[in-house]
A and B are shown apart, each in its own frame.
Chain A
């Protein structure tokens, strides 16, 4: 989902940065407030951040014969709320832009928007929706992480289609082309991410029941699962 350095026209680069900055500020504030009120969550927030670091470094082979990586931000979003994952995703993308020439500074705003904003917010929404249907927690966690991951890659496709509409068919044709590259590749990887997230949440429920009990979303899903 990384749009390479310099591969968005300046107006788009600035626009996406302008959209992402308020979310980043909101995320930092929500994270700081959360940790101040619940210092015992520091460890789990660290684990959720580490999960995003680990997963976004793993480029996995896929059915389209190309490689892509999961994002790992769904886990933290459904534990701590989507805003808390914006700064985490930002740090991951900044690290990759500065040290790995993967993504870039001019495309950071757009990449933060797809991976650190759309991904976590979609994950959180899907989690709430599936939990409200009364399905077990594992199903809600799986769907949240999986759909959030896909949403990130669809967003990247839309961003590129908007910047580079097909000269004949326009944005629609262009979107189909980019989605064919990103979303199709991402299908098995998103399923893997969903399953891995279920494993981590299971471990957290087993080992950190005390810390989790205070988190409203987990309480909600637990009640539905019981």
Chain B
């Protein structure tokens, strides 16, 4: 089980890191700039709308925009940190709970083998 978990982690990291070297950036649409390397897919879709319907004008603007890329990444990091914090709390609590349970009844290892 442990070995399989480690393998899954390796696969996730490779899937995330390998595209940095092996990505194939699509060629530029005629009459427009080539897409920025590793820009957002959302932005690329927005550019595609521009080529399909050049006359379309967005009719509503965001109420608040992060004043810079740094502020935007701060807010994204905050969102991720909130999620990671809760998951960390749960994992820590679960490990401690399992340890306490094992210490309380060393003879019955039933829960330890639940996995």
Is B truly associated with A?
yes
Residues on A lying within 8 angstroms of B by beta carbon are: 1-7, 9-10, 43-44, 46-47, 49-68, 72, 92, 95-102, 104-106, 156, 160, 164-167, 174, 177-178, 180-182, 185-186, 188-189, 191-192, 195-196, 198-200, 202-203, 205-209
Measured CB to CB, the closest approach of chain A to B41, in angstroms, equals 4
Assembled-state Cα–Cα distance A98/B63 (Å):
7
Report A149 CB to chain B, min CB distance, Å.
13
Contact B83 A57 (CB under 8 A): yes
Choice from B23, B56, B64, B91 contacting A61 with Cβ under 8 Å: B23
Some 20 contacts from A to B, beta carbons below 8 A apart, are: A2-B42, A10-B59, A49-B86, A50-B87, A51-B83, A53-B80, A57-B77, A63-B23, A64-B41, A65-B26, A67-B40, A68-B40, A100-B76, A106-B59, A160-B49, A167-B52, A177-B48, A199-B5, A206-B94, A207-B98
Residues in B whose Cβ lies below 8 Å from that of A102: 42
The number of inter-chain residue pairs (CB within 8 angstroms) is 191
Quick one: CB contact mask for B1-40 with A, threshold 8 Å, 1 for yes? Answer: 1000100110110011001101111100000000101111
A91 to B66, CA, bound (A): 19
Q: How far is the CB of B55 from chain A (nearest CB, A)?
A: 10
Q: How many Å from the CB of B93 to the closest CB on chain A? A: 8
Kindly provide the distance from the CB of A98 to the nearest chain B CB, expressed in whole angstroms: 7
Q: Are B82 and A209 touching (Cβ within 8 A)?
A: no
Chain B positions within 8 Å of A3 at CB level:
42, 45
